Amino acid sequence: MGNVLAFVAIPWFVLQTTGSAAKTGLIGGAFLLAAVVAGVVGGPVVDRLGFKRASIVADLAGAVTVALIPLLYQTIGLAFWQLLMLVFLGGFLDAPGHTARQSLVPDLAGKARMHIERANAAFWGIQHASFLLGPPLAGVLIAVFTPSNVLWIDAATFVISAALVSALVPSVVPRVGTAAAEGRPPGRYLAELAEGITFIRRDRLVFWMFGIGVIANFLILPLFAVVLPVYAKQTYGSAVNLGLMLGGFGSGALAGTVSYGTMCHLLPRRATLVSAIVVMGLPFWVLVATPSLVVTMGALFVTGFALGPPNTLTYSVLQERTPPQMLGRVLGAGVSLSMVAVPIGMVLCGYALEIVGLRLTLAGISACYLAVGLVSFLTPALRELDKPHG
């Protein structure tokens, strides 16, 4: 929930204090750039530290970085470069925590005797539920308390998350072959880092799944971090309406994830992936017409619904094909590589909005999704999605 509150509060804070879409894009780009770097270099650390412990440490550190934003702003003042640095640090600390939580899924699924694809659907269902509830709540809180005060609440949610993981998530015994189990010296760090990247490069299916993820994330994340806040401000003029728009997307993502988790054993993986990518981009043509808020929420619901299967499918394939002792570093490196272009997308979207305007930016994003769907359909490696992995 904390990340979702920040996802709404920080862009609105930047727009309110600077009035600049370009600076909003720079803030989003700083967060994602940090997450990309930390995901790669933090993977071996997650494997060594342990998934549960890494998740707790990341949440507590994230609480500090978020709390510093309103603390400085409300006391001695906060320059834009300082905000940029704090957001970068927050992204750097958040990425290993996400890697750790996702790496817990296979072991927890085994303890619960649940199929890995359904376990991932449950994991992402919780993420999307927070995206459903968080944005409308953030919009209301911003309207009542101001963006800077909402960040105090955001910081508290990170502390609560750390406490819940500590109390409720069982500790996972280090697997044989992990750095922790073997007592590897610190000098092995670079070799472990290289192992994760090499694995991704050598496995054709994993490589192409993340390759498509690079392009998909380049399009979807800047849209929600930069384009939609500007869209809501220009079209509807309210942070509450931005929260409702993102809530429409979140409800669709939750519905799509739950539906896929229920029917995944009946659906062909490749056809599901390609269809979902194409459908994700179509609703943005509706937004070009600047419709009513209800229609906009419906269009974003469709986009969210289509996002559900690819997320679940990507992580399930990765967990199926990755040796357990390498999961932290492969997952961290893979997710980071799939997001490597996102900071560029954040900045480009900010400047595109100022240069060509809102409608042409939305139309361009939608057209790009159709192109990604075509590339996915024509990629031979993705045919392995429907083959059993032995």
The 10s digit of each residue's pLDDT in 147-157 is 888 889 888 98
**Do residues 21 and 350 make contact, with C-beta atoms less than 8 angstroms apart?**
yes
- Residue 365, both tokens: 């994003």
In CATH, the number for domain 2-386 is 1.20.1250.20
* Interacting residues of 222 by C-beta distance below 8 A, sequence separation 6+: 25, 28, 342, 345, 346, 348, 349
Residue 57 pLDDT > 80: yes
Encode pLDDT of 295-350 as tens digits. Answer: 999 999 999 999 888 888 888 888 888 887 788 888 888 777 777 777 788 788 88
Residue 116 is predicted with a pLDDT of: 80
Under the banding of pLDDT at 50, 70 and 90, the label for residue 6 is confident
Under the banding of pLDDT at 50, 70 and 90, the label for residue 2 is low
Handedness of CA 233, 1, 137, 129 (dihedral sign): positive
Residue type, 158: F
Residue 179 is predicted with a pLDDT of: 46
Cα separations in angstroms, 179 against 145, 216, 222: 46, 33, 36
DSSP 150-172: HHHHHHHHHHHHHHHHHHHSPPP
Q: 225: which DSSP letter?
A: I
Cα separations in angstroms, 140 against 155, 244, 274: 17, 10, 36
Residue 181 is predicted with a pLDDT of: 43
**Do residues 240 and 143 make contact, with C-beta atoms less than 8 angstroms apart?**
yes
Q: What is the average pLDDT score of the chain?
A: 83
Separation CA 147–CA 152 (nearest Å) = 9
* pTM (two decimals): 0.74
Question: If you average pLDDT over residues 212-230, what whole number do you get?
Answer: 83
Encode pLDDT of 158-189 as tens digits. Answer: 999 899 888 888 776 544 444 444 445 555 77
**Domain residue ranges of the chain, discontinuous segments joined by +:** 2-386
**Do residues 303 and 188 make contact, with C-beta atoms less than 8 angstroms apart?**
no
Separation CA 390–CA 378 (nearest Å) = 24
Neighbours of 64 (CB within 10 A): 16
